[in-house]
Structure 1
Amino acid sequence: MKLILSLPHKQKAIILKKVKILYYLVVKVLLKKGILSPSTKKSFLLAYSYVILPKLIRKITSLILNGNYNEIFTTIRSILTRSLHFDKFPLFIAKLITILNLANFLLSPKIPNKLLLHLVSSFLAAILTYPSFQRHLIEKKDRYYTLDLTLTLVVRAVDALIFSPYFNEVGDAVLFILSSYVIMESWYFHPEKLTPDYRKWISSAADMDEDILQGFRYLNDGSVKYLNDTDTEEDVPKKQKYFEEFCIKYGKNPKLGDLSIQKKLPCEVVHCFTYENCERHALYRFMRSFKMSLKLYGSVNVLLWIMFRRFKMPLKYIKSTIRSAIFLASFSTLGWYGLCLVRKERLARLFPNVSQTTWDLLAPKVGGLLSGFSCFLEAPSRIKELSLFVAPRALGTFVSPEINDKNLFYESLAFSISFAILVAFAKEKPGRVRGLVGRALRIIFN
């Protein structure tokens, strides 16, 4: 390039004209052969919209609310340009689809079976492009982005391969309930199993003081325990004053958190001293969560209007926002109330041989399980999408996020196989790929 720029203007113009002609000829051939088909353009635009629209909505809304109007244009330009990096998601998807089309063109004479052709072409495209995309994001310290993407594709591929012909509303609900249980149990006791962003989002939605969460973890690992008359000083754990310090933080009597006096940590303490009564506290949590959920689903539905409804805003989308907000608020509320329900004295009286520590550690798990039943408040089509959203997160609690060659290879392999299955079904049996992923693939390939 430097050599060309150093040439005299006339020679440089001739060379650049020839390069331009060659470029258009190559593009024309690729278009004619279906390699640069409309699917490449559509895949890029979908991926680009998926990346930029949530950022634009979130950032612009924040700037308007804070009165920083002069920063809006700069923010829009920054979001639009940063998402065009060669190794960012939109161009990765465009490269993936282009190489898929090229592989299809080269292999079609040798593989007459269309399903097999799509499987092989898609697998080759993914295994050739995904590792570089993966490495780029890991270099940016975002290990979980590609892992989340891979697990999402794995779940969708298994669904297309096995479940979609047989699953109904009940099956989707069961998947959601079990996934919610696994996620919430991890959030309480093994937060390192969840991705940092998802963990932070759950904490925000649950609206629970991190110190109470830590208290449950200390009960779980024995750093805090209920003391009895037979315990000596050596039996007292180092963190025994933890709940007393928590009470002091809220300006309350530390004796409420003294587990040498209290036979059961009062629900008032677990409620962070909002209300002593469990039912009033549950209603309070519902109202707080409902307000937060309205903002969340309002933004999500705006995104759906823009991407799929061509800016139309029918009344049903307002109803959908309210219904989804009720669902999420109920998810949080059932988790809180389930926590209290298990810790009630009446259960302890029914089973006198069960220790209070056991009840305290069982309570979050039951709360997590009950939370999942909130899905029945959603529309059947939304239950399907919700189950396919939470299942990868639940699956992720069983996968090591450690960065090493072995893990990265297996992730690339899982992504490539899953992508091949989804593309093959999207092209030959589109009804088998459910939810937003199925809709996106049908837009790209049809």
Structure 2
Amino acid sequence: MVSPRVPSRRARWDDGIPPVLRPLMRAYLLGYASAVAPRLLTLFLQYLTGRRHKVPARDTPSGTADAEAKTKGVHVQGQLFLDSLRHVLLGGLDLQRFPTFCATIVGGSTLLEVPLKGVFNHFAQNLPELARKRLSRWVASFISAWFGLRLLQSKQTPSFTETITSNPGDGHSVNGAEKQTTIRHAGRTLDLSLFAATRALDVIVGELWARRKTRRLTAQKWTRLERAISRLIDPAMFALSSGLIMWTWIYRPSRLPRSYNKWIGSAAAVDGRLIEALRRCRQGELRYGEETGQAPLLGAMCADYGWPMQWGDPAKSIPFPCEMVHMGSGGSSCELHTVTRFVRSFRWAMATYLPLTLLLAVRSPNLKGIRRAVISAVRSSAFLGAFISLFFYGVCLARTRLGPRLLGTGTAARQAIDGGLCVASGCVLCGWSIMIENARRRKDMALFVAPRALATLLPRRYAWDKQWRETFVFAFSTAVVFTCVVENKARVRGVLGSVLGTVLKP
């Protein structure tokens, strides 16, 4: 009797590596790729853009000199490109960079687990075997995460370093000479720590909720309210997080990374003078019915857009018309402005999303894949368009539609509305545009923005001697996620669960 043929397993690139070292190598290579690839893409785009904009040599008697200068310029540009390329590729190999950090956490957790398991088997024999196994894995991950983050934190960067110079007469100088003291601040790894804390909290709450759901379904007591909570928890988390980020962008932009401020400003396409007027309203510098010297701010905006100059004078115009918020789009109708704002934002987003989704569809070039890519781009663009238009409509809703009806039309009411209530209304509404996306995207986007929203509540820099608290939170959270992903990969939601599951696989 002929035994059935067993299909041979396709050889993997890491088959030649000892199983115990495979997670470490995967983590290092993945960390290196994630750290270097974006910088390489930016470098190549800058190089190609620079070559495209080179001015050709003129057809004149001096054309030969121009051609020689052009050739020399191309050579210099190419050399600078190669130097930058070398710097990017070698910079990723630095021991205090992200690849080594990833290898330390993943490799340390897998390598330490074996000896720790022996320790717990010897000293904690009264515990069940499964508990000893989980405990050894958690402690191994905690230790590795602690030292991994400390490795990143040990790198000194100018933005988190401050040099204080003591004057000869202040009592702190040496022999009457100036003395320079370097002070290091913590907080460089705050975003990473908040990301880990958010994912650990999601794992814990998700597990508790799943157990509750199982018990309630078994007892046939699962209610509509609980069903609604399960369905709306991710949209609600996104709405709350994005609203907090938008509030920070208006009133405390310094608490957001520079790239965030730049991207939100590009997407919102709003005149910066209008944002500044809302800030001054909240700070009390711009007060309606009073001459506080703020008329030139919005007055310049009126001159640029061809509006009556008195619209920009808070002493005469109480409040400044909502048409200024519309910035000439939609006239005086808030609803028409919302529609035109959506269309404009949708087009802006499609110019970004459609090329990216089509590029990803090249992996499986067929009609179905292209159709899926186009639908995905349309949905994401509609989400972003709705996000922006709902924010502005929320502002108009408080200023024109509901605010005056609920609070009145007096000067104090108008000051309160423009002093924060109108922005709060926009922040509450905008995030619910996430309902346009499918359930999977809602989950990923909610988990993406939540740590960034938490970062707005904390200082970007803090005292160096308090850094151990952040390190403890990161190590504890990472240990929770790593322990969970080995036993139940599906509990670690989103892309992170599948990535960690692949990296930690023996």
Smaller-chain TM-score bracket: 0.7 to 0.9
Does the aligned pair in 1 maintain the 2:102–2:148 contact within 8 Å? Answer: no
Pair 50,199 (structure 1): closer, same or farther in 2 beyond 3 Å: same
2:340 is matched with which residue: 273, 284, 296?
A: 284
CA distance in 1, matches of 2:239, 2:194: 18
Q: Give the counterpart letter for 2:324 in structure 1.
A: V
CA distance in 2, matches of 1:39, 1:388: 25
Which residue number corresponds to residue 392 of structure 2? Answer: 336
Matched, 1:237 2:314: no
Give deviations 1:361-397, integer Å, cap 9, x for gaps: 2111111111111000001000001111111111112
Which residue number corresponds to residue 108 of structure 2? Answer: 99
Pair 209,161 (structure 1): closer, same or farther in 2 beyond 3 Å: same
Pair 346,151 (structure 1): closer, same or farther in 2 beyond 3 Å: closer
Give deviations 1:160-183, integer Å, cap 9, x for gaps: 111354473311011111112222
Which residue number corresponds to residue 47 of structure 1? Answer: 31
Give deviations 1:104-148, integer Å, cap 9, x for gaps: 232121134221111100110111121221231645659765211
* Root mean square deviation of aligned Cα: 2.9
Pair 301,38 (structure 1): closer, same or farther in 2 beyond 3 Å: farther
Matched, 1:387 2:460: no
Which residue number corresponds to residue 443 of structure 1? Answer: 502
Does the aligned pair in 2 maintain the 1:57–1:299 contact within 8 Å? Answer: no
Identity of aligned residues (%): 28
CA distance in 1, matches of 2:248, 2:194: 17
Question: SS state of the match for residue 462, structure 2?
Answer: coil
Which residue number corresponds to residue 416 of structure 2? Answer: 358
CA distance in 2, matches of 1:54, 1:169: 34
Does the aligned pair in 2 maintain the 1:122–1:419 contact within 8 Å? Answer: yes
Which residue number corresponds to residue 109 of structure 1? Answer: 118
Which residue number corresponds to residue 175 of structure 1? Answer: 237
CA distance in 1, matches of 2:344, 2:188: 30
Does the aligned pair in 2 maintain the 1:161–1:432 contact within 8 Å? Answer: no
Query: How far did residue 335 of structure 1 move?
Result: 0.7
Which residue number corresponds to residue 148 of structure 1? Answer: 191
Question: SS state of the match for residue 194, structure 2?
Answer: helix
What TM-score results when the alignment is normalised by the length of structure 1? Answer: 0.81
Whose relative contact order is higher, 1 or 2, with alpha carbons under 8 Å and at least 6 apart?
1
Q: Residues 383-422 of structure 1: matches in 2 within 5 Å?
A: 383-422=442-481
CA distance in 1, matches of 2:197, 2:334: 40
CA distance in 2, matches of 1:140, 1:274: 40
Give deviations 1:181-203, integer Å, cap 9, x for gaps: 22212222222332332232222
1:89 is matched with which residue: 92, 98, 101?
A: 98
Give deviations 1:387-442, integer Å, cap 9, x for gaps: 11111111112222223124422111111111111111111121211112112111
CA distance in 2, matches of 1:198, 1:140: 17
Q: Give the counterpart letter for 1:289 in structure 2.
A: S
Question: SS state of the match for residue 223, structure 1?
Answer: coil
Pair 402,117 (structure 1): closer, same or farther in 2 beyond 3 Å: same
Does the aligned pair in 2 maintain the 1:137–1:146 contact within 8 Å? Answer: no
Does the aligned pair in 1 maintain the 2:106–2:504 contact within 8 Å? Answer: no
Is there any run of 5+ residues in structure 2 with no aligned partner, and where? Answer: 1-16, 54-73, 122-131, 162-185, 211-228
Which residue number corresponds to residue 312 of structure 1? Answer: 364
Query: How far did residue 253 of structure 1 move?
Result: 3.5
Does the aligned pair in 2 maintain the 1:335–1:371 contact within 8 Å? Answer: yes
Q: Give the counterpart letter for 1:359 in structure 2.
A: I
Which residue number corresponds to residue 424 of structure 1? Answer: 483
Which residue number corresponds to residue 197 of structure 1? Answer: 259
CA distance in 2, matches of 1:168, 1:80: 45
Name which of structure 1's ranges 132-141 and 212-221 shifts more when overlaid on structure 2.
Answer: 132-141
Give deviations 1:270-309, integer Å, cap 9, x for gaps: 2333442333433333233223323443576579x4xxx9
Which residue number corresponds to residue 215 of structure 2? Answer: none
Give deviations 1:177-231, integer Å, cap 9, x for gaps: 111222212222222332332232222222222221111010001100110xxx5
CA distance in 2, matches of 1:392, 1:251: 43
Give deviations 1:211-262, integer Å, cap 9, x for gaps: 21111010001100110xxx5xxxx334354322332354543212111221
2:377 is matched with which residue: 315, 321, 327?
A: 321
CA distance in 1, matches of 2:480, 2:390: 37
Name which of structure 1's ranges 341-350 and 109-118 shifts more when overlaid on structure 2.
Answer: 341-350
| Structure in which a larger fraction of residues adopt helix | 1
Name which of structure 1's ranges 131-140 and 148-157 shifts more when overlaid on structure 2.
Answer: 131-140
CA distance in 2, matches of 1:343, 1:393: 29
Query: How far did residue 58 of structure 1 move?
Result: 4.2
Matched, 1:214 2:276: yes
Question: SS state of the match for residue 344, structure 1?
Answer: helix
What TM-score results when the alignment is normalised by the length of structure 2? Answer: 0.72
Q: Give the counterpart letter for 1:223 in structure 2.
A: E
CA distance in 2, matches of 1:105, 1:176: 40
2:203 is matched with which residue: 155, 160, 167?
A: 160
Pair 181,296 (structure 1): closer, same or farther in 2 beyond 3 Å: same
Question: SS state of the match for residue 117, structure 1?
Answer: helix
Is there any run of 5+ residues in structure 1 with no aligned partner, and where? Answer: 1-30
Q: Give the counterpart letter for 1:344 in structure 2.
A: T
Query: How far did residue 76 of structure 1 move?
Result: 5.0
Count residues with an aligned counterpart.
Answer: 404
